[in-house]
Amino acid sequence: NDGRALVVNGTRRMLFSGEMHYTRSTPEMWPKLIANARKGGLDVIQTYVFWNVHEPVQGQYNFEGRYDLVKFIREIQAQGLYVSLRIGPFIEAEWKYGGFPFWLHDVPNITFRTDNEPFKQHMQRFVTQIVSMMKQEGLYYPQGGPIIISQVENEYQMVEPAFGSGGPRYVRWAAEMAVGLQTGVPWMMCKQNDAPDPIINTCNGLICGETFVGPNSPSKPALWTENWTTRYPIYGNDTKLRSTEDIAFAVALFIARKKGSFVSYYMYHGGTNFGRFASSYVTTSYYDGAPLDEYGLIWRPTWGHLRELHAAVNLSSEPLLFGTYSNFSLGQEQEAHIFETELKCVAFLVNFDKHQSPTVVFRNIPFQLAPKSISILSECRTVVFETAKVNAQYGSRTAKVVESLNDIHTWKAFKEPIPEDISKAVYTGNQLFEHLSMTKDETDYLWYIVSYEYRPSDDGQLVLLNAESRAHVLHAFVNTEYVGCVHGSHDGPGNIILNTNISLKEGQNTISLLSVMVGSPDSGAHMERRSFGIRKVSIQQGQQPLHLLNNELWGYQVGLYGEGKRIYTQEESSSVEWTEINSLTYHPLTWYKTTFAAPVGNDAVALNLTSMGKGEVWVNGESIGRYWVSFKAPSGQPSQSLYHIPQHFLKPTDNLLVLVEEIGGNPLEITVNTVSITTVCGSVNELSSPALHTQGKDPEVRLRCQRGKHISAIEFASYGNPAGDCTTFSTGSCHAALSESVVKQACIGKRGCSIPVSPARFGGDPCPGIQKSLLVVANCR
């Protein structure tokens, strides 16, 4: 690399990259995901390396199935793209324990991510192992492989102050350790302004064109490692999408202001947090609002709009990478950025004003700039792209019910036994143990069991149970009867408190408390010291003194009985006695099972679990993740209702579906759905610049159904001044009578079609002097 760009094959390169995690999809999905990224104009696929999937037990390695990192990288290479490998091995990534295997927590005298010998030893061993594996497979660029850059650590600056002088020492050590591995390609650290030479410091964020302090040495290029395409969803929140226009504006500004030459979208495809891999309170669906959605489908205009942006930037890569840079003001909130060589020139005209469309004069030519937009001028005179004008196709995604699992006779239930005998507990102690130290993060569940002797008094006084926990959910049972539940939230206080009246019998009573983690933490300093689980339990009988139970004899059971027996698998399902479901709907701590047939065809498949509460779900023994639909977002909707089942998990018939439900729900209302893009729409103005990847001189509406589908009907078509957009539309005062027939003829029965926005196509100008556009809405089947 040099101060302008990464150097690939001897020359500077303008690179667009997309983050995609091999662990969050299946190997069967990889080729198509990568192909769609390539078609979207990407040059690079960026991924983290996930230590805890590769070394779940110290010294035992796993690179199989969706953890086959080498296969993933080879697939990227086969499609002609490069790889940015973020080895970490701390990665955060909304991933269980930030990517660290939990056994690291139990290494004697360890402190994570600082100048600590036990930690550095394990980190160096793992990083070295990954680098050696990549070298053995010939995957680094100098060996003819696709890896052109690697990352060590991850956003360390955020926690560095907590470690005092150990922080900077650790940064220097990590840098030297990485460079010493001699990969032949550059290393980077993200959000680390003082990354030691030759490590490149890079930016993560929403607006790196405004926030990035810039490379810390003239020999380093400006790289943006994470341009967040949306916000990852958490349980209890509604999904917040980032607009396509905003993403494009941010990319263009970074290139213009910071001489940016590498931008990576985080995420380009988010995928699915299978099993228990999501971190605290993070939903199973990950970055569904990315250019490729959770299922790998393209339906937001983001994918197409960014593809246009990539083409516009690449058209002028020569002046961007080799030209002289200058800038000047065009107005109070307008600026110009110019890159010029002797022969080539490109300009970025920036308008920060969110409301006005000012006309600016640049090199004697007037340009009208859209509100909060950047116009890219090829040869410094022709507009080839405007960030705020989206000509790319919109789509709408629908989930269609193909099977309702409402036949009560096909379901079976198993009541999870509530542990009540302390003498049978594997672990006991006269104290409240920390949750993760007991479970080793192998399960979300830890039972705390205690005996309480009750002497009733005559006045029929109330008995109050109070339990405080630093886990995420707490369920309480008294003599195996359910008495209540409380849960926290991602941004709420760390302490949750259950206060409930209970009825006790005279003599011995058993209080069984189920502590639940909805994912382990993925960030913060001193993660190894974080403490979870029940901290305090007391009983209050009327006016009597508070009876604190913390130092009584507690029994512990790690995990649920059904989990330990693996009753979610075909092989072990019969190891317990399943019964008819009868009255067991809406029953806490209950396992349910049934079978279903796979939907016909290639559409993505998902379960709608809206009728359930909280738990985990398995299909043919594969966990498709946690669900939590009872925790409603402010809109009143669950944060996630649909749960993705990858095609590869299914067989044609007799697919075993097993759920464990903690709170209570009705499995008879679960449905199997296919998810697809049913409507596509385009709206393009006659004054728009023609798309760069088409040959025509007119702008055009381009529509395309997903693979395997074709345009079956035209819902709306108007050339003139149609009102509205892709969601609400109607004809305006000007409308060409031929609109519908022209579009039908061009599109019906085809997978895709394009219609030029020009009067000649529609039998002449329907209303001279009025600015016209074409809006088309079509159905895909």
SS3 196: coil
Contact 362, 330 (CB under 8 A): yes
Residue whose C-alpha is closest to residue 560's, from 426, 660, 686? 660
Residue with tokens 């058209």: 315
- SS3 readout for 394-412: EEEEEEEEEEECCCHHHCE
For residues 359 and 84, give the distance between their C-alpha atoms in angstroms, rounded to a whole number. Answer: 41
| Phi, psi values for residue 528, rounded to 5° | -70, -15
Q: What is the DSSP string of 57-78?
A: BTTB----GGG-HHHHHHHHHH
**Neighbouring residues of 724: CB distance < 8 A, sequence distance ≥ 6:** 730, 775
The one-letter amino acid at 38: R
Tell me whether residue 155 is one of the annotated catalytic residues: yes
* Structure tokens belonging to residue 354: 């969110």
For residues 119 and 124, give the distance between their C-alpha atoms in angstroms, rounded to a whole number. Answer: 8
Quick check: bond before 267 cis, omega within 30? Answer: yes
Residue with tokens 């395309």: 704
**Neighbouring residues of 216: CB distance < 8 A, sequence distance ≥ 6:** 193, 194, 195, 201
Tell me whether residue 318 is one of the annotated catalytic residues: no
Q: Which one from 75, 155, 160, 622 is the annotated catalytic residue?
A: 155
Look at the alpha carbons of 83, 89, 94, 100 in this order and tell me if their dihedral is positive or negative: positive
For residues 172 and 748, give the distance between their C-alpha atoms in angstroms, rounded to a whole number. Answer: 62
**Neighbouring residues of 360: CB distance < 8 A, sequence distance ≥ 6:** 330, 331, 334, 336, 349, 351, 366, 367, 369
Contact 84, 96 (CB under 8 A): no
Tell me 439's DSSP state. Answer: H
CA distances from 763 to 178, 735, 759 (A): 66, 12, 6
Q: Which one from 226, 420, 563, 616 is the annotated catalytic residue?
A: 226
For the chain, counts of helices (H) and of strands (E) = 12, 43
The one-letter amino acid at 126: F
Q: What is the DSSP string of 327-387?
A: EEEEETTEEEEEEE-SS-EEEEEEE--SS---EEEETTEEEEPPTTEEEEEETTTEEEEET
Helix (H) or strand (E) holding 172: helix 166-179
Measured in whole angstroms, the distance separating CA 484 from the mean position of its chain's CA atoms is 32
For residues 19 and 340, give the distance between their C-alpha atoms in angstroms, rounded to a whole number. Answer: 31
User: Which residues are part of the catalytic machinery?
Assistant: 155, 226
